[in-house]
Amino acid sequence: MISVALLAVTLAAPAAGNWPTAGWPESTPGAEGVDGGALESLSREFERGKHAYVDGMLVIRHGRVVFERSYPHAYDAAFAKAPDRRRDPYNYYDDRWYPYYKGLHTMQSVSKSVTSALIGIAIARGEIAGVEVPAAPFFAGYRTYAGDARFAAMRLRDLLTMTAGIRWDEDTVPYTDPANSCAAMEASRDWVQFVLDQPMADAPGARFVYSSGVTELLAQVLMKATGRHADEYARERLFAPLGIKEFFWKHTPTGHPDTEGGLYLLPRDLAKLGYLYMKDGLWEGGRLLPEGWAAESTTKQVAASGGAGFGYGYQWWVVPAKPSRPSVFAAIGYGGQYLLVAPSLDLIAVFTGWNIWDKPELDIVYALEGVLKAVK
């Protein structure tokens, strides 16, 4: 159920004509209650390379762009000596693909949050009955865990919250290491079947295990439910209404879109997804997501692994609130792709980068605090 308190912080939809469908209006930081000097200070850190390969920063307040910078890097030269460059089945070190492709920026696991939005749209349209439906029927025709009661008990909710119970190891680094389950999946021909070939390790719902494989299963869920591949469905049902005209979505060898990490977008278009969720799935006077879906998706459904205390919703991360920090939800991608949304402040921030080898990713809490302290 959606709590009244969560819905109460969802801001009212803007007046007609102020939606950023055709493009974000621009303003100055001061006019929107933001300290431009504080943002400039953070930006200078990126310019000096303090956080290595950060290549973009975008801040939006009250539905207007108040700050935007880019920080170019010679990625080919930067990764020329990467020790695992030669065993790179997904081209992570190929500057023809990463981080940019045809001017669009890789989203990596931010793709997961977009995929979750598509599940919400399918539920709104009656193509999926809801998150409590059994997952197994979506995989008819695949080899599955025949006779395993745990697989039969798996619900769509368990896929969305990464509590499916399927054995998975995505902690091995780097991602190009074949011991990493995600790397092994990406090197296989049929990604969905690869995931379904992994043994069950837990009862569904019992334990959070970060799994790009589970998100790839949602590609099949969408295909089975809607008769459309996720990218085709997104083009018509999500991107077109939001005014997103340019995107690219990589495909697996069997034709499924790479729903776990293959999407490319412009940062300003990614920000529209945050705005959609901040407005409870409303856009231009119409409803794209079921009422309350955005709040439920960005509410802590399970405790995520790791020491940062983050929660996990439906393919969205929930940053724990503090007395000095409001509730924030986030879409996070490998290499430093961050969509940060603070609904109570009417604030959206997007960071892009490509720290995948010798330098750590931009710390998401550092980036968040850097923007929040600029808000008056």
Which CATH number fits the domain that encloses residue 360? 3.40.710.10
Residue-level pLDDT at 145: 81
Q: Is 200 helix (H, G, I), strand (E, B) or coil?
A: strand
pLDDT for the residue 7: 36
Long-range contacts of 182-190 (CB under 8 A, 24+ apart): 182/212, 182/213, 182/260, 183/89, 183/90, 185/212, 185/213, 185/216, 186/89, 186/90, 187/89, 189/253, 189/254, 190/252, 190/253, 190/254
- pLDDT at site 87: 64
CA-to-CA distance for 166 and 214, rounded, in angstroms? 8
Q: How far apart are CA 218 and CA 220, in angstroms?
A: 5
Looking at the structure of the chain, the number of domains it has is: 1
Amino acid in the structure at residue 73: H
Question: For position 13, what pLDDT does the model report?
Answer: 43
Dihedral sign for Cα atoms in the order 324, 326, 331, 337: negative
Q: How far apart are CA 220 and CA 266, in angstroms?
A: 26
Contact 220, 168 (CB under 8 A): no
Which pLDDT score, from 0 to 100, does residue 78 have? 85
pTM: 0.94
pLDDT tens-digit profile, the chain (376 residues): 333 333 333 344 444 458 999 999 999 999 999 999 999 999 999 999 999 999 999 999 999 999 999 999 999 888 888 876 766 667 888 888 999 999 999 999 999 999 999 999 999 999 999 999 999 999 999 998 878 899 999 999 999 999 999 999 998 777 777 788 998 999 999 999 999 999 999 999 999 999 999 999 999 999 999 999 999 999 999 999 999 999 999 999 999 999 999 999 999 999 999 999 999 999 998 999 999 999 999 999 999 976 678 999 999 999 999 988 999 999 999 999 999 999 999 999 999 999 988 888 999 999 999 999 999 8
**87 in helix, strand or coil?**
coil
Expressed as residue numbers, the domain containing 287 is 4-372
How many angstroms separate the CA atoms of 199 and 223, rounded? Answer: 24
Please report, for the chain, how many H helices and E strands are present, in that order.
14, 14
Tell me the one-letter amino acid at 17: G
